[in-house]
Structure 1
């Protein structure tokens, strides 16, 4: 059973670094969909303090379309959005063939065309306070990945 974390157009290297650390800790693969809001060159990664980055199973894709062609071979996708009506607790996040957790960019989430095309695959984390619009991207990734692991037990 494999877990894939997909960050579509991530903007903040710290969030991507934290997501990478979660992936490394859990054996998940990290997929980054360009364009990225930062550089992955060695100097930038080192400057960001990501001393574990070389061990992360990371794959960079030039576009969503390039990644989407591979998606059926990776497993069942779940798209995370604050606009989703289904809670991720109610979704079977650990199907036998693999789980693909898809997250949008920090400032705008996932593109509208993905909301339309995959409407039945969207889930959200419960946010109980009206004062909180969303959770941090890397926090959401960690919660989702560990829920998949919990369901796999």
Structure 2
């Protein structure tokens, strides 16, 4: 896999659907960490008209520890947060890097952020008057920057 995209307890089905489609386009693996707030079964995806769902490489993990254990040992795992100190553009990405994005209403829990290496907490710079970006937009921005560095299209 070129990248690993982790979503921590996603809450909004259209965001996860958009991110799944993005993962197909990038050849990335989608990881659902913790329980999603909605049905992610193949039957539910078909009912929602997600005709690409069978092309998504998706893994489910009950915990962050399980997600980390599923990644190759040389993978660099980044947390993405509006409270990050490192701009996503200042990182040199490599094939197989992984990301963890928080859910739409509360992000990643504070205890996870506290335990994370600060230079691996990424942010997307934005105006102070803006609270945050939509989750699927954030995943797209960071994933395409990583892919721009990894691949030549």
Q: TM-score, normalised by structure 1?
A: 0.90
Distance 1:70 1:25 in 2: 22
Q: Quick check: 2:30–2:58 contact (8 Å CA) kept in 1?
A: yes
Q: Please give the alpha-carbon distance, in whole angstroms, between the structure 2 residues aligned to 1:24 and 1:74.
A: 23
Change (3 A) 1:20 1:29: same
How big is the shift at 1:66?
A: 1.5
Following TM superposition, the consecutive aligned residue runs of length 4 or more in structure 1 with deviations greater than 4 angstroms are none
1:32 CA drift (Å): 0.4
- Aligned to 1:115, the other structure's residue is in SS state helix
Report how far residue 136 of structure 1 moved: 0.5
* Pairing 1:43-82 to 2, within 5 Å after superposition: 43-71=43-71, 73=73, 75-82=75-82
Q: Distance in 2 between matches of 1:74 and 1:40?
A: 29
Q: Which residue of 2 aligns with 1:122?
A: 121
Q: Is the 8 A contact 1:6 1:102 kept in 2?
A: yes
Q: Secondary structure at the match of 1:73?
A: coil
- Contact in 2 for aligned 1:86/1:124 (Cα 8 Å): yes
| Runs of 5+ unmatched residues, structure 1 | none
Is the CA contact (8 Å cut-off) linking 1:9 and 1:33 kept in structure 2? yes
Give the CA RMSD over aligned residues. 1.6
2: CA distance, partners of 1:75 / 1:42: 28
- Give 2:100's aligned residue: 102
Aligned equivalents of 2:101, 2:74: Cα separation in 1: 16
> What is the TM-score with the length of structure 2 in the denominator?
0.90
Contact 2:42 2:53 in 1 (8 A): no
Cα displacement string for residues 28-73 of structure 1 (whole angstroms, at most 9, x for unaligned residues): 0000012111001233212322111111001111222211223453
Q: Is the 8 A contact 2:94 2:146 kept in 1?
A: no
> Which SS does the other structure have where 1:23 is aligned?
helix
Question: Shift of residue 129 of structure 1?
Answer: 5.2
Conserved? CA contact 2:79–2:99, under 8 Å: yes
